[in-house]
Structure 1
Amino acid sequence: MVALQIRDVPEPLRDQLVALARQRGQSLQAFLFDLVRDEARRQDNIAVLKQFSPATWDVAFTAQDVIVALDDERCERDSALDGPGARE
């Protein structure tokens, strides 16, 4: 395993990180490891999401088209529910 070192960390920042680690019942080492690991995972998630970005979709409709279609369907549903034989 590799060791990482961060230099020139101001004492107030270090103290705040120590306090946050204590709140979680962790050592500063474990707390910082979790932060670094979580950030790396987020970057992996962002890369996956970019694979599914709208630019990669081959669709002929826009978000506005979807909104209009949903609104139309909701109006039809509401009319059917409010029509003859509707429950009160």
Structure 2
Amino acid sequence: MVALQIRDVPEPLRDQLVALARQRGQSLQAFLFDLVRDEARRQDNIAVLKQFSPATWDVAFTARDVVVALDAERAERDAVSDVPGVDE
């Protein structure tokens, strides 16, 4: 593993980070490691989500098209279920 160093951290900020680490029952080093690791993971998630962004879906219909199609299907379903003698 490599060691990372952050210089010129103001003491009040360091004190706040120490307090947050203590609240979690962690050392400052463990707390900061978790922060850095979690930030790196979020960036991985963002990259994955961008792969599946709407621009890459190649879809030729809009949200309104979906609503219209659902309404039409529901109307057809309701018309069929309104047949006399059919229990709901």
TM-score (norm 1): 0.79
Task: Indicate the structure (1 or 2) with the bigger Cα radius of gyration.
Answer: 2
Q: Which runs of 5+ in 2 are unaligned?
A: none
Please tell me the residue identity of whatever aligns with 1:5. Q
Q: Give CA-to-partner distance per residue, 1:19-50, whole Å, 9 cap, x none.
A: 00000000000000000000000000000000
Give the direction of change, closer, same or farther, for the CA distance of 1:18–1:62 in structure 2 (3 Å limit): same
- Aligned CA-pair RMSD: 2.4
Give the direction of change, closer, same or farther, for the CA distance of 1:22–1:73 in structure 2 (3 Å limit): farther
TM-score (norm 2): 0.79
Please tell me the residue identity of whatever aligns with 2:52. F
Looking at structure 2, the residues matched to 69 and 11 of structure 1 have their Cα atoms a distance apart, in angstroms, of 60
1:3-42 alignment, distance < 5 Å: 3-42=3-42
Alignment: residue pair count: 86
